[in-house]
Homo-oligomer: A and B are copies of this chain.
Amino acid sequence: MFVLSNPKRDFIVHRSEPLNAEPPLDRLRAGFVTRTEDFYVRSHGALPDLDAATHKVRMTGKVTRTLEFTVGELKDGFMPRTITAVLQCAGNRRADMQQVEKTTGDPWAPGAIGNAEWTGVPLVDVLRAAGASEEKDLHVAFEAMDVAENEGAEDGPFGVSIPMGKAMSGDVLLTWAMNGNPLKSEHGAPLRIIVPGYAGVRSAKWLGEIRVQDKPSDAFQQAKDYLLFPPDMRKETQDPARGTTIYEMPLNAAICEPAAGAELKAGRTEVRGYAIATDRAITRVDVSSDGGRQWRQATIEDHGSARWSWTLWHLTLDLPVGEHELVVRAWDAAGQTQPARPDDVWNFKGYLSAAWHRVRVTVA
């Protein structure tokens, strides 16, 4: 069994082989930038053990010259950039959806998310160095060095892709460092891609090959797995043609403190959490202590311009003795808010679980 680089006793391990684990929510909410040891890990197979000094990544496909480079060569050849960005698993908060009806996948709490500082070089710079075609309807595919356990299909290399427009944005990074230190093994050492604003699955780890091609990747993760299906579809009847590829993710919010089931003393309770909307500002966070009948507005914390980061919020409540259902819902700059019930977003794979987050607490 793999051991986390910097394990903490209370990390929530859904599976150890392959490793899938998330931090307790109070640790997640400890700072605007998530500590590396508090960052969730989502892997689809055994973690590859690659030698950073010698491992070469190839850039192939619709390019005028194939490139091959180590991390060292990448650092030498291009101007580095650091971006603070959230990575979020498409299955974050799946546990709420599983209360409605069973889904495939691990029962992630709201901890399959984190906001880190990523250092690397813009993918666009390397694509241009390779003379890649920049036609809009192309895709950039990432093949990883891990062998993914593909549910209902043969094991195979983890693979995903992103549309060329996104790849050219300048914010997509070939990344070797997280929070100022070299990537740890479980986060994709020596080189991964970071695709701000997209579901974590597109940010392939342990990169082996980058390929410019005229269609999306045909690897299992891209073609069959990370799809949003309509509510009538089931595992047994799944038809990829009826699914939508998950790239951007919906408006979401979670209460990180107090914890679900907490027993609190009467008096002031600080409610704290996060909210996120892909590429839109969070304009309001509503918190209820009566299951969603009445709402108050939380204070939104200001961390400056943070296009790809999350938004942290807090609110002090004075809760009387008894049981309370705390609820949070967020609003974005387009006046959009979240559906109330997980029933309204349920799908058999448990993706994009973004209904109001509810936490029951008892005040004694």
A→B interface (CB under 8 Å)? 228, 230-232, 242, 244, 246-251, 278, 280, 283-284, 286, 294-297, 331, 333-341, 344-345, 351-352, 354
The CA-CA distance from A340 to B338 in the complex, in Å, is 9
Provided the pairs A340-B340, A341-B340 are in contact, do residues A230 and B284 lie with their beta carbons within 8 angstroms? yes
Provided the pairs A284-B244, A344-B340 are in contact, do residues A231 and B335 lie with their beta carbons within 8 angstroms? no
Inter-subunit contact B295/A335 (CB<8 Å): no
What are 23 A-B pairs at a CB distance below 8 A?
A228-B283, A228-B331, A228-B335, A230-B284, A230-B286, A230-B295, A231-B286, A231-B295, A232-B296, A244-B335, A246-B335, A247-B334, A248-B280, A248-B333, A250-B337, A335-B352, A335-B354, A336-B336, A337-B339, A337-B344, A337-B345, A338-B339, A340-B341
* Chain B residues whose CB sits within 8 angstroms of the CB of A335 once the complex forms: 228, 244, 246, 248-250, 351-352, 354
* Chain B residues whose CB sits within 8 angstroms of the CB of A334 once the complex forms: 247-251, 278
Inter-subunit contact A295/B232 (CB<8 Å): yes
Q: How far in angstroms is the closest Cβ of chain B from A199?
A: 9
Selected from B242, B247, B297, the residue in CB contact (under 8 A) with A242 is B297
- For the complex of A and B, the 9 pairs showing the least CB-CB separation, nearest first, are A248-B334, A250-B336, A335-B352, A244-B283, A250-B335, A278-B334, A339-B339, A250-B334, A228-B335
* Chain B residues whose CB sits within 8 angstroms of the CB of A333 once the complex forms: 244, 247-248
A356's nearest neighbour on chain B, judged by CB, is B344
* Chain B residues whose CB sits within 8 angstroms of the CB of A244 once the complex forms: 283-284, 331, 333, 335
Q: How far in angstroms is the closest Cβ of chain B from A363?
A: 22
Number of copies: 2
A247's nearest neighbour on chain B, judged by CB, is B333
* Chain B residues whose CB sits within 8 angstroms of the CB of A296 once the complex forms: 232
* Chain B residues whose CB sits within 8 angstroms of the CB of A251 once the complex forms: 334, 336
Q: Pick the most buried of A228, A231, A335: most chain B CB atoms within 10 A of its CB.
A: A335
The CA-CA distance from A63 to B114 in the complex, in Å, is 44
Inter-subunit contact B340/A297 (CB<8 Å): no
The CA-CA distance from A247 to B335 in the complex, in Å, is 9
The CA-CA distance from A354 to B352 in the complex, in Å, is 20
* Chain B residues whose CB sits within 8 angstroms of the CB of A249 once the complex forms: 334-335
* Chain B residues whose CB sits within 8 angstroms of the CB of A336 once the complex forms: 250-251, 336, 354
A199's nearest neighbour on chain B, judged by CB, is B335
Q: How far in angstroms is the closest Cβ of chain B from A237?
A: 14
